Amino acid sequence: MILRFIPNPTFVYSSRGYHKVKPSILYILLLSLCLFFSSCAQVSLKNFEEQGQLPLDNNQLQAQFNGKHIHLESIYLDATVHFQGNNKLQATDYLGNTEKGKWTLVDKNLLCIEFDTWYYGDKNCYRVIEDNGSLHFFTRNGAPSYKGTLVNVDSANDSIDHAKDVEKSVNDTSAQGSAYAVMNTSKSLPEDNETTKQRFTRLAQNCPDCNFSGVDLSNAQLSHANLAGANLSGADLTNANLRQANLQGANLSNAQLIRANLAGANLSLADLSNSDLRGSNLIRANVTNAVFKDTNLTGAHLESIQGKIQ
């Protein structure tokens, strides 16, 4: 059973859904994982400093990041980020989702990254150590965060251009309201061996007002997806990752959302009547004026939601 940790430290996500864990148990679990994977010690800030490798200073950070494309990896992110010379940044993740933001250097040799919507738009600052061509990012208190590698500019541009092509194929189709019609466009099918489910998942990354009624999107990775106004009635979204997805005004009536991750999602004005949200994560979701008539919320996590469930 694979475990994944979410921002609320008292919850653990597994293939069976979200589970509330006592802090003491979570601490033991984290400690056990670190002892099991020896790499935990290898990437610690303290370990680097004991070997005489110090964080980059502001001048070194400027030279390392200004104008560069850096591929960042963590348990929450897999994206290539362009640190532009005007302190703006543009990012593209492995699913083709794009994001903007800004980066700054502050006192005490910290690199700060602030995405517009990713990570709830929070500003996070890091100490960075360069080691054998890799960049190791650590939080202010020394916890490991990202691992970064310099990306060839041509490769980065190819990735961004591909994402734009996929988005353009969706926006240019004359039948934008139908996911089935969009499937027939050549640009949305980059691989001949792609299954129907994989194609729907790819399209759902950015498909406002599209028709996914009754479609199987179970286990789909749709973090930050734009599905505003989409018809997802009767769709199977069991175990789907819809973290911070835009579902404003979407029709989710009779949808299967068992153990779905909807943390931070925009569900305002959405219709969730008769949907099944058992064990789902709605932490910090916006449910303003959403319809929850006869919705099954058994075991759902509703902490810090915006709006009222009615």
**Start-end of CATH 2.40.128.640 domains in the chain:** 52-154
CATH fit for domain 52-154, picks 3.40.630.150, 3.40.50.10860, 3.40.140.10, 2.40.128.640: 2.40.128.640
As given in the structure block, the two tokens for residue 26 are 């979570």
Q: Of 145, 13, 159, 12, which is closest to residue 76 (Cα–Cα)? A: 145
Q: Per-residue confidence of the chain (310 residues) as pLDDT tens digits? A: 344 444 444 454 444 455 554 555 555 555 555 544 444 444 678 888 888 889 999 999 999 999 999 999 887 788 899 999 899 999 998 777 889 999 999 887 899 999 998 877 888 999 999 988 899 999 988 888 889 999 876 544 544 444 444 444 444 433 344 444 444 333 333 444 568 888 888 889 999 889 999 999 999 999 999 999 999 999 999 999 999 999 999 999 999 999 999 999 999 999 999 999 999 999 999 999 999 999 999 999 999 999 988 7
pTM score, two decimals?
0.44
Q: Kindly state the DSSP code that residue 7 receives in the 8-state scheme.
A: S
Kindly write down the DSSP assignment for every residue of 18-87, as one continuous string.
EEE--HHHHHHHHHHHHHHSTHHHHT-HHHHHHTT-PPP-HHHHHHHHTT-EEEEE-SS-EEEEEE-TTS
Torsions phi, psi of 148, nearest 5?
Answer: -120, 150
Q: Where do you find CATH 2.160.20.80 in the chain?
A: 175-310
For 102, the token pair is 């800004």
Q: Which CATH class is domain 175-310?
A: mainly beta
